[in-house]
Structure 1
Amino acid sequence: MADCVFCQILEGRAEGSVVYRDERAIVLLDLFPVREAHCLVIPVQHQPLLQDLEPDLCAHLFELARRTIRAHKRAGLDVLAHNVIVNDGREANQHVPHVHVHVIPRRGGDTLATALTWGTRMMNIFGLAKRRRRLDRLAGLLAEHFPES
């Protein structure tokens, strides 16, 4: 889909900090993260809603979410827990109408900061080039630690 930012990244027409990619999905770092190392698991197939995906693709997305969690921990990040979230539809706060799974690392005592960042994260458009360089370095680290299974 021409105007979908995730499709643009998948087609190489837009930048993305890629952690992992296979023929069915991609894992990349969120450009507007809630917490450091906030990843998105995105199917290659463009579908707006989770209900439109085949069951085996849904299972694959959540398997990649599980492996992303392992990569966070194997990379030595200060992570105690994770939120795994799907905003399914505009009314559920889905900003990009292409299915994606958020994998958000959590640390102890970060609930208030996470809640505040979630509501304002898309407003921070300054310093994108510097943020992209930082995300690319982090994507490289996570890719090194991304488990095969």
Structure 2
Amino acid sequence: MDCVFCAIVAGDLPASQVYDDDRVLAFADLNPATTGHLLVVPKRHAADLAALDPDDGAHMFRVAQRLAAAVRASSLEPEGVNLFLADGEVAGQEVFHAHLHVLPRRTGDGFAVAADFASPPREELDRVAGLVREALADAP
């Protein structure tokens, strides 16, 4: 099976499960960026965010929010939590089955999303906002 998450959902590969319902499965990441790193995976295959059923996506985030609270309440005692979804190869997606990372964070844990943030003029921000507004009318 080409989709490793499909194989995990099907029970063909083992996973250290933390949550399971009719829509999603959540389990410990095999290559955790931080201690307690979890993945929330929709049971219906969707290669990326555009292919993800909106109800499945909403449910993924609800479950991730509960898991983040559980991680914070656990003896793992992180100082914070990131939710991270990579959509597309250039965004860092390596497994092409949509999934949401729940990343417990601690000072000095080594995980970083680095960027050179700029402060463009308002005109540029307005131009970009307009492009997205136009495309929004055609978005699913």
Q: What TM-score, normalized by structure 2, do the two folds share?
A: 0.76
- For residues 5-44 of structure 1, the aligned pairs below 5 Å read 5-44=4-43
Q: What is the CA distance between 1:76 and its match in structure 2?
A: 2.3
User: Matched residues in 2 for 1:91 and 1:109: separation?
Assistant: 26
User: Matched residues in 1 for 2:14 and 2:49: separation?
Assistant: 24
Q: Where does structure 2 lack aligned partners over 5 or more consecutive residues?
A: 113-140
- For residues 1-149 of structure 1, the aligned pairs below 5 Å read 2-110=1-109, 113-115=110-112
Verify the 8 A CA contact 2:72 2:80 in the aligned structure 1: no
Task: Tell me which structure has the larger Cα radius of gyration.
Answer: 2
Q: What is the CA distance between 1:92 and its match in structure 2?
A: 1.3
Q: Which has the higher helix share?
A: 1
Q: Paired residues, what number?
A: 113
User: Matched residues in 1 for 2:74 and 2:80: separation?
Assistant: 14
Verify the 8 A CA contact 1:65 1:101 in the aligned structure 2: yes
Identity fraction in percent: 42
- Three-state SS of the structure 2 residue aligned to 1:114 is coil
- Three-state SS of the structure 1 residue aligned to 2:17 is strand
Q: List per-residue Cα deviations over 1:120-140 (Å, max 9, x = no partner).
A: xxxxxxxxxxxxxxxxxxxxx
Verify the 8 A CA contact 1:48 1:89 in the aligned structure 2: no
RMSD of aligned Cα (Å): 1.5
Q: What is the CA distance between 1:74 and its match in structure 2?
A: 2.2
Q: List per-residue Cα deviations over 1:83-121 (Å, max 9, x = no partner).
A: 1111111221111100000110001233xx224xxxxxx
* Structure 1 stretches of at least 4 aligned residues deviating more than 2 Å after TM superposition: none
Verify the 8 A CA contact 1:42 1:101 in the aligned structure 2: yes
Q: What TM-score, normalized by structure 1, do the two folds share?
A: 0.72
